[in-house]
């Protein structure tokens, strides 16, 4: 990205002043190296977001920002429903509520390495991964409705997980306001056998070691210790979320003239929050959030089941489960007063700071855990929401390293089998149903996650708590 078009307002903050029909400025959080490495589409997309009706304060891009569908990945924007604010399916994304959960094991690396291959094989066998992967669960239409209403709480009622898990999941595991009745039959059908599956793309289950602690107080509150092994699970709402996104994007494009919305980009199709279409989308999206929360809850249960087989002493409590790709009604201060706005986070994560009332008692004095995924062979991080970050992007943070190369480019550059062998030589066991998928997710196809999280910390979005290094990676 050409920095001459940006005003540097801080060491890790850049501003694009409104031009044309932009309603608010755009703000990018990054150092100069990350800015220069961002594709020009980030500039185009974030300034297009700033043109949408009812947007408040600014359109934000996180340090991992890169080109996406409509919104850039790493885009954050809030809309005031009382000022004609809109909800955009492209501003949420197709993999609705894609997110990460993390579970400390209490085990050390040596215990895992002693049974690494067996454990990797067992996890790969128990938790289906890959395009169109199906699990052992088949839902009736009635059970699908219950799942879309109940989220992780539904999964718990069916024997997946523990009551204590709900305290450590966004929305206590169930997103209110879901409308299962507006989810199409095709979306329901796509999900009928996909519960408890990882899917493909950048989704994964990783067994990781805590190799560094950056904030001892927060690490203690999170139950993380140097040398401890944790399990991180990254997945979302699978085919159901994708179908909802596809259908409502089409409906929003067709309905835009009826709402006097001139679309600068069809991928930014949207509808007023206070419209029948906007309300229908929000109801379907919330149902998809519940689907993702239920899916990660089931996978967490299956992971514990496998670990108990090898390590009966391993408990694997849930540290936290946080979503990306959502639009949520939250109260934030804008124009000198606190009001309800609808915050889109596309490839970004909520990152509430200390004392936020939505956090469980055990985390409230510290702040919300922010789970940042790397890619195969690179580090992941646990961060914590920074105090005072509400005014910087509505208490949001980056969600991962961010791609620097398309999947097509990655396939042309790397071979999956060679990558598996290379990572095995470094002590990392990869299990995947697709060599092509491994190539697409090559570590070199992503930005430097260390640089990204350092930028997030220096920008005041979230603080580093712990660094995690992979030992086993189950890849979709």
Give catalytic residues, as residue numbers.
399
Q: Tokens 């930028």: give the residue.
A: 455
Pairing of strands 204-213, 326-334: unpaired
Contacting residues for 216 by C-beta, under 8 A, at least 6 apart: none
Q: Tokens 């993702």: give the residue.
A: 292
DSSP for residue 427: T
Question: Among residues 469, 380, 471, 379, which one has the least CA distance to residue 424?
Answer: 471
- Tokens for 77, please give them: 């924007």
The SS3 of residue 415 is: coil
Whether 395 and 350 have beta carbons less than 8 Å apart is answered as: yes
User: Please, is 122 exposed, middle or buried when counting C-beta atoms within 10 Å of its C-beta (0-12, 13-18, 19+)?
Assistant: middle
Which residues on adjacent β-strands are paired with residue 261? none
Whether 290 and 189 have beta carbons less than 8 Å apart is answered as: no
Question: Among residues 3, 16, 100, which one has the least CA distance to residue 375?
Answer: 100
Pairing of strands 204-213, 228-235: antiparallel
The angle subtended at Cα 56 by Cα 52 and Cα 60, nearest 5°, is 80
Whether 308 and 156 have beta carbons less than 8 Å apart is answered as: no
- Tokens for 74, please give them: 């790493």
Q: What are phi and psi of 73, to 5 degrees?
A: -65, 130
Helices (H), 311-446: 361-364, 407-413, 416-425, 435-440
Which helix (H) or strand (E) segment holds residue 96: the answer is none
Contacting residues for 121 by C-beta, under 8 A, at least 6 apart: 431
């Amino acid at each position: 990205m050409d920095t001459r078009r940006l005003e540097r307002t801080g060491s890790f903050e850049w501003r694009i002043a409104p031009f044309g029909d932009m309603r608010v400025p755009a703000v990018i959080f990054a150092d100069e190296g990350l800015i220069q490495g961002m594709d020009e589409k980030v500039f185009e997309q974030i300034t297009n977001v700033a043109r949408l009706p009812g947007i408040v304060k600014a359109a934000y891009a996180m340090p991992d920002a890169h080109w996406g569908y409509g919104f850039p990945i790493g885009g954050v924007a809030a809309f005031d429903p009382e000022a004609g604010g809109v909800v955009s399916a492209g501003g949420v994304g197709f993999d609705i509520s894609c997110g990460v959960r993390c579970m400390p094991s209490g085990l050390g690396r040596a215990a895992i390495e002693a049974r690494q291959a067996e454990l990797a094989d067992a996890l790969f066998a128990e938790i289906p991964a890959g395009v169109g992967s199906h699990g052992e669960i088949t839902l009736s239409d009635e059970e699908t409705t219950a799942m879309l209403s109940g989220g992780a709480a539904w999964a718990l009622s069916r024997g997946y997980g523990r009551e204590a898990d709900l305290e450590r999941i966004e929305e206590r595991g169930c997103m209110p306001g879901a409308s299962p009745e507006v989810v199409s039959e095709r979306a329901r059908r796509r999900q009928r056998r996909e519960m408890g599956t990882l899917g493909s793309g950048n989704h994964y289950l990783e067994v990781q070691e805590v190799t560094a602690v950056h904030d001892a107080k927060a690490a203690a509150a999170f139950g993380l210790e140097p040398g401890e092994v944790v399990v991180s699970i990254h997945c979302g709402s699978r085919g159901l979320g994708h179908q909802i996104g596809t259908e409502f994007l089409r409906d929003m494009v067709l309905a835009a003239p009826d709402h006097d919305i001139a679309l600068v980009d069809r991928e930014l199709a949207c509808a007023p929050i206070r419209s029948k279409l906007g309300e229908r989308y929000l109801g379907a999206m919330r149902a998809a959030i519940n689907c993702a929360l239920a899916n990660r809850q089931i996978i967490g249960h299956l992971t514990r089941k496998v670990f108990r087989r090898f390590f009966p002493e391993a408990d694997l409590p849930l540290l936290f489960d946080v979503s990306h790709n959502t639009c949520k009604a939250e109260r934030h201060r804008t124009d000198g007063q606190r009001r309800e706005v609808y915050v889109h986070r596309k490839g970004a994560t909520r990152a509430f700071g200390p004392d936020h009332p939505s956090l469980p008692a055990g985390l409230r004095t510290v702040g919300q855990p922010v789970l940042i995924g790397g890619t195969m062979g690179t580090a992941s991080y646990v961060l914590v929401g920074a105090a005072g970050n509400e005014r910087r992007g509505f208490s949001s943070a980056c969600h991962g390293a961010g791609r620097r190369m398309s999947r097509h480019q990655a396939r042309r550059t790397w071979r999956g089998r060679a990558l598996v062998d290379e990572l095995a030589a470094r002590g990392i066991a990869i299990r995947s149903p697709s060599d092509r998928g491994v190539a697409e997710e090559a570590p070199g196809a992503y930005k430097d996650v260390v640089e990204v999280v350092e930028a997030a910390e220096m920008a005041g979005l979230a603080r580093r708590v712990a660094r995690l290094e992979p030992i086993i990676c189950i890849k979709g």
